């Protein structure tokens, strides 16, 4: 017999069916046993009637055993219908249970919400934690979100392109994760903090509309809403101005959120200048929902734009606030090229805020090498230093670069809003602890002496504290 998914059983009422999955719950009443079986599509109650041939193996079956169950799909007696549950109106009258694989008793209960369980235990057994209904829902919703984003972007003529993971250290920005090069001893790749430079090069290369579901990796201390790795919907478009990128992304977010059954508080998204946001909310990210809206899962998006381009460093110089590759707003191009009133220059940066999170951000980029040069001059770099850092971009921009701009959306941040989760780890399949230890596997670990030798690396650590 062919397998029927549990979610499709209600189409086979009165017919025989074979399901495969896990024993979720067993309720043994002696002469009669009830089970809840679970597969990726849901759960269903099975019943072993008195004197059934299945009784012997049913007595063996335990929680989380993997089983193949054959039986007849029956409507439940009226008084046993559970209208609010999937398959609450049917049950499988079991004729045979084949135990495919036994299971140890799980270290914690996975039939309920696991959020109250110690997180280090959940992460050690993440593959069990992920069996829980809530985690299944979160991870599936993530897949659905990404699929809908892809669908939208493909309709808009975007091309999905992958950019390298082993790449150059980012000029400025956050701390890099580095990877030693065996072929070039003593030299290191950096993992990308974002595909920023590559996506701009793809605009030079004429793809015009690029996107990537891109991993971004930054070696900064972790938070509830921030991990070493996160995923971005990374977007870049040619022949566009600020308004074009914002309206494209806004249309995408509306289509995706509404097709997932969510309500958006205000359309079109309200816009605040940075100065207005700071005055009204005291922050450049804020939550505009009422208490009831928070309860019902409303999404409150807003744009924040007209950020200062530069801010003072502790040393009294200037550094960029968001992105050195950004254009200033058109009215301030002159000031930037002349390096006048630097603190007042505004950038084309635009951030998308949702329910108190910075859900994404982007800008129009400078396709004119002179503007990028001026930015680096303002930050105090010599011609040679600028050349060293972004010379390859300046070179590329010489060969017919279209005006372009883009944006990156944080997948986890958006999912947190869609799932009402407080922690980024709840929307990642295999997150790490705040101390940087991976789930299930215990990375990071030391290299073997052989590996170290091959890479030309000598480890010299200060002695560890101990009793």
Partner RNA sequence: GCGGCCGUAGCUCAACUGGUUAGAGCACUCGCCUGUCACGCGAGAGGUUACCGGUUCAAGUCCGGCCGGCCGCGCCA
Task: Determine if 445 is a binding residue for RNA (CB under 7 A).
Answer: no
Position among 3, 11, 50, 338 found at the interface with RNA (CB under 7 A): 50
Per-residue x/- track, 252-291, RNA (CB under 7 A): ----------------------------------------
Shortest distance in whole angstroms from residue 413 CB to RNA: 12
Shortest distance in whole angstroms from residue 184 CB to RNA: 25
Stretch near RNA under the rule CB under 7 A, chosen from 173-181, 329-337, 390-398, 451-459: 173-181
Task: Determine if 3 is a binding residue for RNA (CB under 7 A).
Answer: no
Give the footprint of RNA on residues 223-242 (CB under 7 A). 223-226
Q: Nearer to RNA by C-beta: 2 or 467?
A: 467
Q: DSSP H helical segments within 79-170, as ranges?
A: 119-124, 126-129, 133-155
Task: Determine if 465 is a binding residue for RNA (CB under 7 A).
Answer: yes
Shortest distance in whole angstroms from residue 103 CB to RNA: 10
Stretch near RNA under the rule CB under 7 A, chosen from 109-117, 254-262, 298-306, 331-339: 109-117
Stretch near RNA under the rule CB under 7 A, chosen from 171-179, 273-281, 384-392, 396-404: 171-179
Position among 71, 324, 405, 410 found at the interface with RNA (CB under 7 A): 324
Q: Nearer to RNA by C-beta: 323 or 355?
A: 323
Give the footprint of RNA on residues 348-387 (CB under 7 A). none
Q: Mapping DSSP to helix (H, G, I), strand (E, B) and coil, where does residue 57 land? A: helix
* CA separation for the pair 123, 434 (Å, rounded): 12
Task: State how far the alpha carbon of 354 is from the alpha carbons of 182, 213, 224, 242, 414, in Å.
Answer: 43, 20, 16, 19, 8
- Which residues make Cβ contacts (< 8 Å) with residue 178, sequence separation at least 6? 169, 188, 189, 190, 191
Give the footprint of RNA on residues 188-207 (CB under 7 A). 193-194, 196
* CA separation for the pair 325, 405 (Å, rounded): 10
* CA separation for the pair 303, 272 (Å, rounded): 6
Which residue has 């084949």 as its token pair?
Answer: 98
Shortest distance in whole angstroms from residue 118 CB to RNA: 3
- Which residues make Cβ contacts (< 8 Å) with residue 47, sequence separation at least 6? 32, 33, 34, 35, 91, 92, 93, 94
Give the footprint of RNA on residues 303-322 (CB under 7 A). 319-322
Q: Nearer to RNA by C-beta: 148 or 215?
A: 215
- Which residues make Cβ contacts (< 8 Å) with residue 226, sequence separation at least 6? 220, 424
Task: Spell out the long-range contacts of 57-61 with Cβ–Cβ below 8 A and sequence spacing 24 or more.
Answer: 57/96, 57/97, 57/98, 57/99, 58/33, 58/94, 58/97, 59/28, 59/33, 60/99, 61/23, 61/26, 61/35, 61/97, 61/99
Q: Mapping DSSP to helix (H, G, I), strand (E, B) and coil, where does residue 98 land? A: strand
Shortest distance in whole angstroms from residue 466 CB to RNA: 6
* CA separation for the pair 350, 274 (Å, rounded): 9
Position among 5, 20, 49, 167 found at the interface with RNA (CB under 7 A): 49
Shortest distance in whole angstroms from residue 296 CB to RNA: 24
Angle, vertex CA 458, rays to CA 457 and CA 463, nearest 5: 145
Position among 3, 13, 29, 56 found at the interface with RNA (CB under 7 A): 29
Shortest distance in whole angstroms from residue 139 CB to RNA: 18
Dmax (CA) of the chain: 92
Position among 188, 207, 281, 423 found at the interface with RNA (CB under 7 A): 423
Shortest distance in whole angstroms from residue 216 CB to RNA: 8
The phi and psi torsions of 46 (rounded to 5 degrees) equal -115, 150
Shortest distance in whole angstroms from residue 83 CB to RNA: 10
Hey, what are 334's tokens?
């002159």
Position among 121, 161, 205, 447 found at the interface with RNA (CB under 7 A): 121
Q: Nearer to RNA by C-beta: 153 or 356?
A: 356
Position among 139, 165, 222, 394 found at the interface with RNA (CB under 7 A): 222
Binding residues for RNA, how many (CB under 7 A)? 67
Q: Are 434 and 442 in contact (CB under 8 A)?
A: no
Residues counted in the chain: 467
Hey, what are 185's tokens?
């001893």
Give the footprint of RNA on residues 68-107 (CB under 7 A). 76-77, 79-82, 91, 105-107
Task: Determine if 172 is a binding residue for RNA (CB under 7 A).
Answer: yes
Q: Nearer to RNA by C-beta: 158 or 320?
A: 320
Helix (H) or strand (E) holding 198: helix 196-204
Hey, what are 236's tokens?
């870049």
Position among 55, 117, 264, 394 found at the interface with RNA (CB under 7 A): 117
Residues found near RNA in the complex (CB under 7 A): 25-32, 34, 36, 45, 47, 49-50, 62-63, 76-77, 79-82, 91, 105-109, 111, 116-121, 170, 172-175, 193-194, 196, 218, 220-226, 319-324, 408, 423, 433-435, 437, 464-467
């Amino acid at each position: 017999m062919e397998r029927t998914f549990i979610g499709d059983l209600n189409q086979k009422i009165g017919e025989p069916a074979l399901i495969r999955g896990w024993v979720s719950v067993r309720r043994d009443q002696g002469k009669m046993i009830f089970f809840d079986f679970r597969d990726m599509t849901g759960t269903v109650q099975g019943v072993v009637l008195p004197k059934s041939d299945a009784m012997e193996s049913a007595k063996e079956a335990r929680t989380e055993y993997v089983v193949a169950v054959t039986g007849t799909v029956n409507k439940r007696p009226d008084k046993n219908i559970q209208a609010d549950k999937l398959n609450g109106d049917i049950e499988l009258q079991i004729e045979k249970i084949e135990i495919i694989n036994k299971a140890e008793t799980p270290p914690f209960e996975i039939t309920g919400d696991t959020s109250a369980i110690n997180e280090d235990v959940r992460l050690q057994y993440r593959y069990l934690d992920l069996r829980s209904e809530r985690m299944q829902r979160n991870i599936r919703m993530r897949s659905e979100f990404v699929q809908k984003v892809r669908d939208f972007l493909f309709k808009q003529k975007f091309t999905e392109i992958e950019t390298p993971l082993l790449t150059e250290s980012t000029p400025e920005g956050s701390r890099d994760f580095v990877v030693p090069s065996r072929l070039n001893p003593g030299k290191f790749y950096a993992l990308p903090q974002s595909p920023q430079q590559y996506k701009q090069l793809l605009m030079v290369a004429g793809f015009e509309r690029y996107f990537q579901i891109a991993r971004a990796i930054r070696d900064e201390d972790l938070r509830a809403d921030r991990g070493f790795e996160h995923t971005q919907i990374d977007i870049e478009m040619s022949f566009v101005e600020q308004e074009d990128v914002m309206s494209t992304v806004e249309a995408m977010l509306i289509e995706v959120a509404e097709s997932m059954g969510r309500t958006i508080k205000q359309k079109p998204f309200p816009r605040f200048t940075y100065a207005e946001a700071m005055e009204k909310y005291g922050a450049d990210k804020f939550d505009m929902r009422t208490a009831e809206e928070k309860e019902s899962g409303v999404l409150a998006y807003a744009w924040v734009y007209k950020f200062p381009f530069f801010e003072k460093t502790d040393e009294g110089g200037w550094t960029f606030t968001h992105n050195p590759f950004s254009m200033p707003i058109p009215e301030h191009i002159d000031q930037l090229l002349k390096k006048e009133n630097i603190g007042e220059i505004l950038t084309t940066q635009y951030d998308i805020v949702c329910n108190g999170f910075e859900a994404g951000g982007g800008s129009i980029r400078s396709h004119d090498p002179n503007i990028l040069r001026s930015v680096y001059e303002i930050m105090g770099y010599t011609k040679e230093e600028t050349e060293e850092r972004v010379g390859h971009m300046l070179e590329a921009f010489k060969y017919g670069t279209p005006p372009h701009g883009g944006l990156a959306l944080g997948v986890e941040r958006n999912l947190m809003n869609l799932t009402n989760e407080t922690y980024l780890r709840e929307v990642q399949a295999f997150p790490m602890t705040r101390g940087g230890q991976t789930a299930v596997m215990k990375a990071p670990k030391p290299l073997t002496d052989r590996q170290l030798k091959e890479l030309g690396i000598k480890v010299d650590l200060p002695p560890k504290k101990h009793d």
